[in-house]
């Protein structure tokens, strides 16, 4: 029994694609391994915007040998009344590569039939994996896929590297001119160099040292911790919308939270407008006081280490300010007319 590690390294995959892709990866691996009659232990999938990874524990190193019975013509059609083999029996035996004398007669619900028994030797798993892994890549569904270069594969984003290791050996597979190896990549900006790995545990440990939290559950908790820490420094409580937390988790490989502010005049806007501007458009977390009222604060999560916090905060504040200025302008314009005064404008609408 050996471990399989398979990583598909890509350009940044849209956040909403990652969780369904990992679910598919695990289920498809179960399906294809079962079809090959290979036993295995635990199957795990992890990923970030730049990688989709499969790990299979205790995967059988070779298919078991098996006996296959091929059913041919009926006994009546295979032998005449004197017991001599007919052309049907001889043709069936020849097609199975055995002598007529080696055919067996088996009782079935439909009567007696000739059967050719074949001993099939199992194939080494490492020889079967190239086809299995290629299927996992080619069959993976996405809402939208793309093609690149002069290759013939469609995927969510261009594939940049592949890691395929079984029992400490590299699996001989090449997909769309990308050959698998034993080296992954760390964080795009903070640790872009190649990182040699031999198994899943080492893979996770080395990636963490190179600024990548590859397990989505661990990365999600890190996002929550970063957001809460950033807001607590300003005596506020972040509004942790589950959907936004999940989205941000799949937008970053490692989270770095910063707390920014906006002019209090924007609190004139309805809560829904403020929250939508921050949450939906910018992927920022609104911040509230102890009573639940919005504060003129927000938390942004960055994908890189923030060395110059002031610079990062100013950038986020500038983007949000422009959006809120537009919202406040239209809100004030709308308030200049009462709803009752707008009835006449609706008369021409069918």
pLDDT tens digits for range 179-214: 999 999 999 999 988 999 999 999 999 999 999 999
3-state secondary structure 29-74: HHHHHHHCCCCCCCEEEEEECCEEEEEEEEECCECCCEEEEEEEEE
49 or 119, which is more confident? 49
Position of tokens 């809460």? 228
What is the C-alpha to C-alpha distance for residues 250 and 238, in angstroms, rounded to an integer?
Answer: 19
- Starting at the edge strand found earlier in the chain, the sheet holding 159-166 runs 43-48, 51-59, 2-10, 159-166, 169-170
162 or 65, which is more confident? 162
350 or 96, which is more confident? 96
Quick one: pLDDT at residue 245? 97
What is the percentage of the chain residues whose pLDDT exceeds 90? 69
Quick one: pLDDT at residue 270? 92
165 or 337, which is more confident? 165
Q: What is the mean pLDDT of residues 155-169?
A: 96
pLDDT of 333 > 90? The answer is no
Query: Which residues share a beta bridge with 115?
Result: 71, 104
Mean pLDDT, rounded, of the chain: 91
pLDDT of 109 > 90? The answer is no
146 or 176, which is more confident? 146
Quick one: pLDDT at residue 149? 82
Quick one: pLDDT at residue 130? 97
Q: What is the mean pLDDT of residues 59-87?
A: 81
Quick one: pLDDT at residue 102? 72
pLDDT of 106 > 90? The answer is no
What is the percentage of the chain residues whose pLDDT exceeds 70? 100
- Quick: pLDDT tens for 196-205: 999 999 999 9
34 or 78, which is more confident? 34
Q: What's the pLDDT band for 306 if we cut at 50, 70, 90? A: confident
Alpha helices by DSSP H, 189-303? 200-209, 216-232, 242-249, 271-276, 282
Quick one: pLDDT at residue 96? 82
pLDDT of 310 > 80? The answer is yes
- Quick: pLDDT tens for 225-281: 999 999 988 888 999 999 999 999 999 999 999 999 999 999 999 999 999 999 998
State whether residue 281 is helix, strand or coil. helix
Quick one: pLDDT at residue 2? 92
pLDDT of 301 > 90? The answer is yes
Quick one: pLDDT at residue 34? 94
CA 198 to chain CA mean position, Å: 21
């Amino acid at each position: 029994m050996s471990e399989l590690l398979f990583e598909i390294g890509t350009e940044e995959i849209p956040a909403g694609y990652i969780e369904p892709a990992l679910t598919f990866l695990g289920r498809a691996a179960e399906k294809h391994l079962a079809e090959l009659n290979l036993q295995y232990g635990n199957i795990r999938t992890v990923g970030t915007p730049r990688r989709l990874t499969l790990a299979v524990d205790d995967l059988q190193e070779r298919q078991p040998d098996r006996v296959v019975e091929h059913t041919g013509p009926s006994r009546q059609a295979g032998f005449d009344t004197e017991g001599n083999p007919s052309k049907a029996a001889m043709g069936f035996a020849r097609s199975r590569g055995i002598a007529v004398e080696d055919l067996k007669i088996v009782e079935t619900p439909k009567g007696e039939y000739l059967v050719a028994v074949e001993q099939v030797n199992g194939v080494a798993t490492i020889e079967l994996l190239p086809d299995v892994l290629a299927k996992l890549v080619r069959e993976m569904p996405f809402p939208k896929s793309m093609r690149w270069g002069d290759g013939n594969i469609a995927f969510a984003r261009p594939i940049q590297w592949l890691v395929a290791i079984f029992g400490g050996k590299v699996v001989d597979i090449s997909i769309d001119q990308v050959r698998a190896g034993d080296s992954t990549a760390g964080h795009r900006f903070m640790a872009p160099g190649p990182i040699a790995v031999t198994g899943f545990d080492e893979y996770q440990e080395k990636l963490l040292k190179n600024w990548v939290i590859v397990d989505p559950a661990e990365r999600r908790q890190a996002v929550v911790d970063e957001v809460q820490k950033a807001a607590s420094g300003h005596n506020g409580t972040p509004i942790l919308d589950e959907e936004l937390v999940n989205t941000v988790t799949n937008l970053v490989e490692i989270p770095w939270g910063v707390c920014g502010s906006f002019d209090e005049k924007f609190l004139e806007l309805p809560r829904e407008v403020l929250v939508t501007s921050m949450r939906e458009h910018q992927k920022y977390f609104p911040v509230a006081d102890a009573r639940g009222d919005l504060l003129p604060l927000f938390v942004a999560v960055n994908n890189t280490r923030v060395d110059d916090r002031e610079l990062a905060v100013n950038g986020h504040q500038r983007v949000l300010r422009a959006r809120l200025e537009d919202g406040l302008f239209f809100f004030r314009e709308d308030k200049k007319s009462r709803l009752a005064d707008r009835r006449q404008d609706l008369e021409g609408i069918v």
